[in-house]
A = this chain, B = another copy of it.
Amino acid sequence: MQITILGGGGFLGRKLAGRLAREGTLGGKAITGLTLFDLQAPPALEAPFPVRCLGGDVADAATVRQAIPAGTDVVVHLAAVVSAQAEADFDLGMQVNLHGTLAVLQACRALPKPPRVVFTSSVASFSGGQEARLEDDARQLPGNSYGAQKAIGELLLQDASRKGFLDAVNIRLPTVIIRPGRPNKAASSFVSAILREPLLGLDTELPVPEDFAVWICSPRRAVDWFLHAMTMDTGPMGLDRGINPPGRSATVGKMLSALEAVAGPAARARVQHAPDPAIAAIVGTWPGSFTADRARHLLGFSEQESLEQIVQGFIEDDLAATRAERGL
């Protein structure tokens, strides 16, 4: 198995690469090579197979062809300009999220054998808001450029699959928590911050009410889904290559209770209410829940972890590194 991860230096790319390195196999077959591609070449990785680390722009067709050489079996396309940045810089979002995905399509199409492509779309490609519980055939009516570009990427890879140029699985990821590192400018940054910052012993602000619901998943489960999508039989998907995976709809209040259960009341007390109508307006349009029936019952995507497991998973996997990174 020859694998390429585009955006391999990011949050989920690094986690997936680490998991592949630990397991050495994918779907029962030995991994024979891994290419990690990102704007800056990702750091070297210890693995029982050769790892190539390349730096370059996913929107540059020639560079992407190098990252996806002949013999590639699986491409995981995570490279993206995320929501707040794509909204602030329309041209950059189009360049990376649209033209980058076009370059990936063309590089895959040039291969002798159509590779599996796992593409990460997003819950931000839907509207609906807090009250929504979206069915699997809900349409994507994006309220932000990032979501529009993700929906377009899905259409491109879906049609390329129908044409036999590649074989895509488009996973519409929930908000993945707990993101390690620092708070960022994403409107959803607070969803990780209200758990991460207290675990680091820091104060943080909650911009929405405690009954605000978010569709979430853990990084461990996101990686499990990637591994499944990298080898699953796509036959039962037919034309429809979009997956709403089994995330969890959780209110902020429930998340804070899980924090308290794992780390005590002092941790929860680090979270101050600071209503922010601007943030509430953006995240308030994202659907709070999905049925995810097809992913669960037809396509074999694994169930979500509990909130306590998610908090515990961050402590085990990411707390020390985040502390070190932030000099705490």
Q: Which residues of A contact B (CB under 8 A)?
A: 90, 127, 137-143, 145, 148, 151-152, 155-156, 158-159, 162-163, 239-240
Contact = CB atoms under 8 A, between A and B. Distances in A.
A274 B283 CA distance: 56
B152 A156 contact: yes
B138 A162 contact: no
Nearest to A136: B139
23 contacts: A90-B163, A127-B239, A137-B139, A138-B139, A139-B139, A139-B140, A141-B239, A141-B240, A142-B155, A142-B159, A143-B162, A143-B239, A145-B159, A145-B163, A148-B155, A148-B156, A148-B158, A148-B159, A151-B155, A152-B152, A152-B155, A152-B156, A155-B155
A122 to B, nearest CB: 14
Nearest to A125: B155
Contacts of A137: 139
A80 to B, nearest CB: 16
A126 to B, nearest CB: 10
Closest 5 CB pairs of A and B: A139-B139, A148-B159, A152-B152, A148-B155, A152-B155
A240 B145 CA distance: 14
A58 to B, nearest CB: 18
Contacts of A140: 139
A163 B145 CA distance: 8
Contacts of A142: 155, 159
Interface centre among A140, A152, A158 (most CB of B within 10 A): A152
Contacts of A90: 163
A59 to B, nearest CB: 13
A157 to B, nearest CB: 10
Contacts of A156: 148, 152
Nearest to A163: B90
Given A142-B159, A143-B239, 12 more contacts: A127-B239, A138-B139, A139-B140, A142-B155, A143-B162, A145-B159, A148-B155, A148-B158, A148-B159, A151-B155, A152-B152, A152-B155
Nearest to A148: B159
A219 to B, nearest CB: 29
Contacts of A145: 159, 163
A175 B11 CA distance: 47
Nearest to A150: B155
A79 B145 CA distance: 25
A143 B158 CA distance: 9
